[in-house]
């Protein structure tokens, strides 16, 4: 379904909208919606962090317990013992992972967590018994070692599960760990689904409201104790402020045409999107399914870069940004000195730009213009021979050295090393605001913006002075969003120096 949606909504994203002459005013939410959005402005704790922590603790506990058991039974005398210890520990952890032992629904159920633990340990130690038999270790000694290892490892592993279970239970009860859901739809048809979601509150699901464009008796302002927050446009504004996980299109017997109209509005958001199973969807879009109680749904879109992928990308950013700061520290000092000597004013330039989910962030750059002629809003783009740019500024802009302070933005978590480049909040080409040129422009913000990106290494760097250039950059950014991997990030980083040499339109 994602491919179908992308082609139908994003590929032709160059059509101008609303006359494409003025930026749409920020959506004003009603008091109830605004209060709820502000309450949900802090992200919920992520179960994936607990799953990763538990895997690391299990590996450490298994290896340490095996080493201790071997020390208590010195007569065993195995060669390559450390390798065997790590192998068995990995087998047990991988087995428990395949059985879902590190997923939220297992970790919040202590009995299920214990069952997966014993099943994984049984599999791993059975494999170990086979290996010991092959190397002709006496059966009595092998069984004593395996038994002692199992006893020593099981205690800390069960303790870890109890601590994680208790912590998850506390965070769920206090609303600090929850899967936040909003619904599109209204009327009496919505009441059974709302009741089902409310019944699953103990599982971490929370309904944050519903949105419906109808303004008549068919769509009351409150259903089952939950308020109507507005229409679909209000939902987009709401999700820009609040941290939402899933949007469910809950309109019974929804036609394909109406579904695509709704999706064209909400696909710019970094959320999972699900549709009730009776909607008109192409057969190829019906493969990924889920359910809440008795309600079956099709998962038409999943958030890019989430869970462990998001953690891996963040660790990638921290490692490479820290390394880059060490390597480029002398260069940054020389640039700062050159700026200071050439013209009065601060060394750094701060600019408001669009960040993740369209939230504004303050991006750092080396100042490349005369201090009294800087343009924080970027209403007037820098052009070839622009007299606002200093001599040092021309050099550092052409070589992108002015972007080096953004490594601090990466460490602060506002930027990623690789991602769609963040544009100034009022950036434009001529008298056209960027998001009025390409309909899918805001979809770039479903991931964290980056210091460099797929568009930049493909030549779409520097001045964007025509609608066609803006659309080309957006298309490349959306390609990155839909095809992200750590390997792609590494490739973009490696190709960025080459793109700095070959690109001709950076002034």
Q: What's the per-residue H, E or C state across 91-152?
A: HHHHHHHHCCCCCHHHHCCHHHHHHHHHHHHHHHHHHHHHHHHHCCCCHHHHHHHHHHHHHH
Tokens 């052009």 label which residue? 383
Report residue 98 CA to chain centroid gap.
23
Q: Which of 172-181, 372-381, 470-479 shows the lowest per-residue confidence on average (mean pLDDT)?
A: 372-381
Query: DSSP of 181-226, one letter per residue?
Result: EEEE--SGGGHHHHHHHHHTGGGTEEEEEEE----STTS-SEETTE
Among left, alpha and beta (phi > 0; psi -120 to 50; other), residue 385 is left
User: With pLDDT > 90 as the criterion, what percentage of the chain qualifies?
Assistant: 21
Task: Supply the pLDDT for residue 435.
Answer: 56
Q: What is the mean pLDDT of the chain?
A: 81
Considering the segment(s) 2-44+178-301 as one domain, its CATH architecture is 3-Layer(aba) Sandwich (3.40)
Residue 60 and residue 84: Cα distance in Å, rounded?
A: 14
- Burial letters for 306-333: b for 16+ Cβ neighbours within 10 Å, e otherwise? eeeebeebeebbeebbeebbeeeeeebe
Residue 495 tokens read as 């190709």
Q: In sequence order, what are the beta bridge partners of 226? A: 223
Instruction: Decide if 208 contacts 227 (C-beta within 8 A).
Output: no
Looking at per-residue pLDDT, the higher value among 82 and 1 belongs to: 82
Residue 28 pLDDT grade (very low, low, confident, very high; cuts 50, 70, 90): low
DSSP 216-267: STTS-SEETTEEEEE-HHHHHHHHHHS---EEEE--TT--HHHHHHHHHHHT
Q: What is the pLDDT of residue 130?
A: 83
- Cβ atoms 367, 349 nearer than 8 A: yes
Q: At 411, is the pLDDT very low, low, confident or very high (cuts 50, 70, 90)?
A: very high
Where do the structural domains in the chain lie, given as residue ranges?
Answer: 2-44+178-301, 47-173, 308-502
pLDDT value at 215 more than 80: no
* Residues 207, 220 contacting (CB under 8 angstroms): no
What is the pLDDT averaged over residues 250-269? 83
* Distance set, CA 141 to CA 62, 66, 72, 89 (Å): 19, 14, 12, 20
Q: At what angle do helices 232-241 and 256-266 cross, to 10 degrees?
A: 30
In 3D space, the residue among 482, 415, 414 whose CA is nearest the CA of residue 454 turns out to be 482
Averaged pLDDT for residues 72-95: 77
pLDDT in tens, 313-364: 999 999 999 999 999 999 999 999 999 888 888 888 888 888 888 788 889 9
Q: How many CB atoms lie within 10 A of CB 263?
A: 20
Q: What does the pLDDT look like over 429-478, one tens digit per residue?
A: 555 555 554 556 677 778 899 998 888 888 776 666 577 777 788 888 88
Are the CB atoms for 269 and 205 separated by under 8 Å? Answer: no
pLDDT: which is higher, 31 or 179: 179
* Coil, strand or helix at 487: helix
Q: Would the pLDDT of 494 be above 50?
A: yes
**CA-closest candidate to residue 415, choices 359, 482, 478:** 359
User: Dihedrals φ, ψ of 297, to 5°?
Assistant: -140, 155
Instruction: Count Cβ neighbours within 10 Å for each residue of 158-185 and write b for 16 or more, e otherwise.
Output: bebbeebbeebeebbeeeebbbbbbbbb
For the ranges 10-24, 166-180, 181-195, 459-473, which has the lowest average pLDDT?
10-24
Selection from 367, 40, 327 nearest residue 180 by Cα: 40
């Amino acid at each position: 379904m994602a491919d179908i949606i992308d082609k139908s909504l994003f590929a032709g994203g160059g059509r101008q909208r609303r006359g494409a002459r003025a930026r749409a005013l920020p959506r004003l939410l009603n008091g109830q919606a605004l209060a709820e959005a502000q309450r949900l402005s802090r992200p919920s704790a992520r179960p994936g962090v607990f799953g990763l922590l538990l895997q690391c603790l299990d590996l450490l506990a298994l290896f340490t317990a095996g080493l201790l058991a071997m020390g208590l039974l010195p007569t065993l005398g195995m060669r390559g013992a450390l390798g065997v210890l790590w192998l068995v520990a990995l087998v047990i952890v991988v087995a428990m992972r395949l059985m879902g032992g590190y997923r939220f629904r297992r970790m919040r159920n202590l009995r299920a967590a214990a069952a997966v633990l014993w099943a994984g340990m049984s599999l791993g130690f059975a494999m170990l018994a086979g290996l010991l038999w092959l190397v002709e270790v006496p059966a009595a000694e092998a069984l004593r070692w395996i038994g002692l290892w199992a006893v020593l490892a099981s205690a800390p592993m069960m303790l870890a599960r109890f601590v994680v279970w208790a912590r998850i239970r506390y965070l769920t009860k206090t609303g600090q760990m929850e899967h936040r859901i909003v619904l599109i739809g209204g009327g009496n048809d919505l009441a059974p689904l709302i009741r089902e979601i409310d019944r699953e509150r103990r599982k971490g699901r929370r309904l944050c409201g519903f949105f419906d464009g109808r303004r008549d008796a068919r769509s009351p302002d409150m259903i089952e104790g939950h308020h109507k927050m507005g229409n679909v446009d209000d939902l987009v504004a709401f999700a820009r402020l609040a941290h939402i996980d899933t949007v469910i299109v809950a309109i019974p017997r929804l036609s394909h045409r109406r579904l695509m109209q709704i999706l064209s509005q909400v696909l710019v958001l970094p959320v999972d999107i699900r549709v009730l199973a009776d909607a008109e969807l192409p057969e190829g879009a019906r493969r990924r399914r889920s359910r809440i109680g008795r309600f079956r749904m099709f998962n038409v879109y999943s958030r890019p870069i989430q869970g462990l992928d998001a953690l891996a990308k963040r660790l990638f950013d921290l490692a490479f940004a820290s390394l880059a700061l060490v390597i480029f520290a002398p260069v940054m000092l020389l640039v700062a000195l050159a700026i200071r000597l050439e013209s009065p004013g601060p060394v750094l330039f701060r600019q408001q730009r669009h960040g993740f989910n369209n939230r504004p962030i303050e991006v750092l750059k080396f100042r490349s213009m005369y201090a009294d002629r800087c343009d924080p809003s970027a209403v007037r783009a820098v052009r070839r021979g622009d007299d606002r740019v200093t001599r040092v500024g021309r050099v550092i802009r052409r070589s992108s050295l002015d972007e080096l302070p953004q490594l601090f933005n990466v460490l602060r978590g506002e930027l990623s090393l690789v991602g769609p480049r963040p544009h100034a909040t009022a950036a434009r080409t001529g008298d056209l605001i960027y998001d009025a040129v390409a309909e899918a422009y805001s979809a770039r913000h479903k991931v964290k913006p980056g210091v460099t990106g797929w568009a930049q290494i493909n030549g779409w760097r520097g001045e964007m002075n025509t609608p066609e250039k803006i659309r080309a950059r957006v298309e490349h950014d959306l390609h990155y969003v839909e095809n992200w991997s750590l390997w792609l990030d590494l490739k973009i980083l490696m190709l960025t120096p080459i793109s700095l040499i070959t690109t001709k339109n950076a002034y």
